Structure 1
């Protein structure tokens, strides 16, 4: 039975195979011999208990199944390496080769196959040159050391002596366990601007640690700090704030954050905060961020926010907001967003409010309620589309009242839009409004078929078409779309449906209503479908090359 080495203590991070854990107990267990390690796994489902055994509590876990007792085994329990050891092992060329050898392109050629498909070959000329360049550590700007088992900064000032120029560093999924170690690494990288610490478990800051870290101002150059899936709390973030003097981008997704206490006079340089996939259930928590004078981007997708209620004169520079995958259930949340003077980009899909609603009506409701939007759910709005949606919104408004005055109490922008587009007809009668708006929507939509063909060039498509021998589609689907949809938005739709990146799509319209069936290249992303005379029943061919 191997003895536990002295460098493994309570709080030490270890790795076993691909799983990481924190040591929370070292000692004996009744009815067992020798010493055991009580660990809390990063993966809550990896363990067997919560730190207690047979009624005795040895340590405390955050989840009922994240704790285990394990025996120490030198070959299985990895306690980690230093930063510089990890860096050199990944980026330095094998030193057993001749260090004085001259790069020869003729000997640096070969072939790799993408995704195991041997029909897709990529020539690898230059890989050796890239490796040789990477071996010059001092010239590296972007460094990825994710999952390299780093636990320490190494010997005193070893990193500084390497004279590194790293600007973007990924230390995600490593074994560093405290901010003091992180600070000692970062303090030796004076050009570092972006630091990624995803899936790391850091001990909470306390006053002595904070004082030690503060003495060197190690994070003063950081512009972006990424702490996703670390279980860090907002209170810990506020403690760090005095050290983040020039931080502009803070990424905190997946941390189980529920509250955001006020941060007066803090984070005034921040332009972006990502709080997606947390556990925030009340906009009052988000309101604490409203005083951040430079905040331009706010990601709140994947929380449980039921409504949005803005405090006046807050979020003055907010230009991009994500609230998709929340619990928004009332249009008042979108009416209040109209108060944001700088909001131009919004993502809001997958909320209960939109369940069962056609995408066109959803767009009309949102665009009609919020002035100035240029992008909605990833789709850029042209001026023509905006006008179209606002006019449709006015017709939808007539469902909510028999007079313009009554409608305005429920639709704050109604009066302003009537001045621009004219007042909608209220004479249809309330019982017929739903039928009228549905009919209007149906008249505006056209059904087209999207067909992904297994061809790799326009020439092949032309030849197959002339021979009346088009192959069977790999995928095909019929969609109802607006004739005013721009081609760029159609590409985004195809990407979602077929998984073909927009940049690789080549679109063609086969016009069967012509005397001779013709193929038209659909290439201008800023044109709408009407420009290409795409009409009801047309077939849009999608090639991927």
Structure 2
């Protein structure tokens, strides 16, 4: 039968993070004798499971329990490095003058490693050209510097660097939030903190109370906790330490389910980055809808396949949503987002887009979400929205016509196209000639239009190819109206819908792109 034993040692403690000469890191799980071997041994649970030999059992005796069957081993105390203090690391990193150009290159690598395409690491690009003394340091980067504690006298860090606003402590040897609090309580101006790739145990309730007595995180607004094996319950437990937090990045963790935060935490949260967590179910995302000030959610690569938003006033402040690299396969899921008041939407690499050109998918998204102002980083102009919405009416005009006399078809149509009735009220129904299916072979490649010179009232009727670029049309207009010294502004006014006027401001698009039809009027201004 396996026997559980424990041991003691000085200068090191259970739970402490350590590293060895080859860079491997682990957590101390045992300190003491390991018979029949002589002397004190350190039991390590290695971050890399292949680094160990067992799970904490040696010759039938359990000394500790590792996270993986092969991540545990014993080493001598002399072979481990318990790291350095934050004060020592700063002196080592910034003891000499630092040229900011070299530092900026390294910071760019860190940003890429965080993989946060929308929620930028605020501030880490505002480094002074030279840092000649510790008192001037406002941005401190200690990525992979083996920091394990604050170190020094009680106020040494505060006296050394009183003006730190942003600190990167990612990939170090910090093991608990008391150690982090020991650092941050001396930094009264700290607003941005990166603790990614540290194995930090989430604090228990009694530890939360003890840490909060230190007022260590009062100024913190932005925290990054990437790749830390945290669940959402761990995040909520830690969030009790950050009373004024506005932005949280927790990508690449083990978050699968979410819970609505109680009213004591995250009530001021503006943005949340959950990228590359295995959430999958949108019902979990809905649990965040009670956060009153949440404006931005990053759900890139989270396995979302369906979107269903209850009409219950959720996400009242949400403006920015990132849903690229997911499994969404139905346009109805996109229509669900019209229940929100989104201003920006990022949506690439989802199955629903397969088979659609970039231009077509953009039009469909714009038509289905009424409040969008930016899509995939590009502004949606008023003319683009009108064109997209009117094309949407025409695209589904035959289905709409067929459904008007059949209740079953009507119900199914409105379910699939929930905005269609509003679009008809806005623009009117499409005429049958606009949606009747016509063989592309019989469809004429020429359209007859009126060219109307607005300043003079002159009208010229021309037959033009649908494939003509606006750029070539502008050149033709210059010759016809004798305005070669001026670049004209072109717009199309639909004959069938006189209220629909679309600015043709992209000279590399075709007339067909702007849905120019026979009998339409092209307005020329100069």
TM-score, normalised to structure 1's length?
A: 0.68
CA offset digits 1:92-143 (Å, max 9, x no partner): 228xxxxxxxxxxxxx9xx9xx99xxxxxxxxxxxxxx99952311111111
1:90 aligned to which of 93, 101, 104: 93
The answer (yes or no) to whether the contact 1:93–1:131 under 8 Å persists in 2 is: no
1:241 aligned to which of 239, 242, 248: 239
Deviation, 1:163, is 5.0
Hey, what's the Cα distance between the residues in 2 that align with 1:410 and 1:215?
A: 55
Q: Equivalent residue of 1:346, what SS?
A: strand
Q: Indicate the larger mover: 372-381 or 210-219.
A: 372-381
Tell me, yes or no, if structure 1 residue 158 matches structure 2 residue 160.
Answer: no
Aligned residue number for residue 123 of structure 2: none
Deviation, 1:154, is 0.8
The answer (yes or no) to whether the contact 1:344–1:374 under 8 Å persists in 2 is: yes
CA offset digits 1:403-435 (Å, max 9, x no partner): 3643334201112222333423456888x48x7
Hey, what's the Cα distance between the residues in 2 that align with 1:533 and 1:50?
A: 64
Aligned residue number for residue 117 of structure 2: none
CA offset digits 1:68-100 (Å, max 9, x no partner): 3152363x5321011111011111228xxxxxx
Tell me, yes or no, if structure 1 residue 321 matches structure 2 residue 324.
Answer: no
Tell me, yes or no, if structure 1 residue 424 matches structure 2 residue 430.
Answer: yes
Deviation, 1:350, is 1.7
Tell me, yes or no, if structure 1 residue 267 matches structure 2 residue 227.
Answer: no
Hey, what's the Cα distance between the residues in 1 that align with 2:138 and 2:335?
A: 45
1:200-215 mapped onto 2 (5 Å cutoff): 200-215=198-213
Deviation, 1:6, is 2.8
Q: Equivalent residue of 2:288, what SS?
A: coil
- Gap runs ≥5 in structure 2: 1-7, 107-126, 405-409, 447-466, 472-502, 513-526
1:40-55 mapped onto 2 (5 Å cutoff): 40-43=45-48, 47=52, 51=56
Aligned residue number for residue 257 of structure 1: 255
The answer (yes or no) to whether the contact 2:334–2:369 under 8 Å persists in 1 is: yes
Deviation, 1:328, is 1.7
Hey, what's the Cα distance between the residues in 2 that align with 1:207 and 1:336?
A: 39
Tell me, yes or no, if structure 1 residue 24 matches structure 2 residue 29.
Answer: yes
Hey, what's the Cα distance between the residues in 1 that align with 2:266 and 2:176?
A: 22
The answer (yes or no) to whether the contact 2:9–2:31 under 8 Å persists in 1 is: no
TM-score, normalised to structure 2's length?
A: 0.70
Deviation, 1:63, is 4.5
Structure 2 CA distance for partners of 1:399 and 1:195, relative to 1, 3 Å = farther
Tell me, yes or no, if structure 1 residue 79 matches structure 2 residue 55.
Answer: no
Tell me, yes or no, if structure 1 residue 171 matches structure 2 residue 177.
Answer: no
CA offset digits 1:21-76 (Å, max 9, x no partner): 222234566776655444333345655655556876554444555x13152363x5
Hey, what's the Cα distance between the residues in 2 that align with 1:484 and 1:420?
A: 27
Q: Indicate the larger mover: 130-139 or 408-417.
A: 130-139
1:140 aligned to which of 130, 137, 140: 137
- Gap runs ≥5 in structure 1: 95-107, 116-129, 444-480, 486-526, 537-545
Q: Equivalent residue of 2:336, what SS?
A: helix
CA offset digits 1:454-473 (Å, max 9, x no partner): xxxxxxxxxxxxxxxxxxxx
CA offset digits 1:173-230 (Å, max 9, x no partner): 1101100111111010000011110111112211332222011221111110111111
Tell me, yes or no, if structure 1 residue 408 matches structure 2 residue 411.
Answer: no
Tell me, yes or no, if structure 1 residue 186 matches structure 2 residue 184.
Answer: yes
Aligned residue number for residue 517 of structure 1: none
Hey, what's the Cα distance between the residues in 1 that align with 2:54 and 2:343?
A: 48
RMSD: 3.7
Structure 2 CA distance for partners of 1:43 and 1:351, relative to 1, 3 Å = farther
Hey, what's the Cα distance between the residues in 2 that align with 1:294 and 1:131?
A: 33
Hey, what's the Cα distance between the residues in 2 that align with 1:153 and 1:373?
A: 47
1:235-384 mapped onto 2 (5 Å cutoff): 235-265=233-263, 266-311=265-310, 312-341=312-341, 343-384=342-383
Deviation, 1:318, is 0.7
Hey, what's the Cα distance between the residues in 2 that align with 1:230 and 1:482?
A: 55
Hey, what's the Cα distance between the residues in 1 that align with 2:304 and 2:468?
A: 31
Hey, what's the Cα distance between the residues in 1 that align with 2:395 and 2:52?
A: 54
Computing the radius of gyration over CA atoms, which structure comes out larger, 1 or 2?
A: 2
The answer (yes or no) to whether the contact 1:49–1:64 under 8 Å persists in 2 is: yes
Structure 2 CA distance for partners of 1:250 and 1:157, relative to 1, 3 Å = same
Hey, what's the Cα distance between the residues in 2 that align with 1:482 and 1:153?
A: 68
Hey, what's the Cα distance between the residues in 2 that align with 1:244 and 1:439?
A: 67
Structure 2 CA distance for partners of 1:298 and 1:44, relative to 1, 3 Å = farther
Hey, what's the Cα distance between the residues in 1 that align with 2:423 and 2:220?
A: 45
The answer (yes or no) to whether the contact 1:483–1:528 under 8 Å persists in 2 is: no
The answer (yes or no) to whether the contact 1:91–1:131 under 8 Å persists in 2 is: no
Deviation, 1:482, is 12
Hey, what's the Cα distance between the residues in 2 that align with 1:198 and 1:269?
A: 22
Hey, what's the Cα distance between the residues in 1 that align with 2:353 and 2:150?
A: 50
The answer (yes or no) to whether the contact 1:403–1:426 under 8 Å persists in 2 is: no
Aligned residue number for residue 531 of structure 1: 507
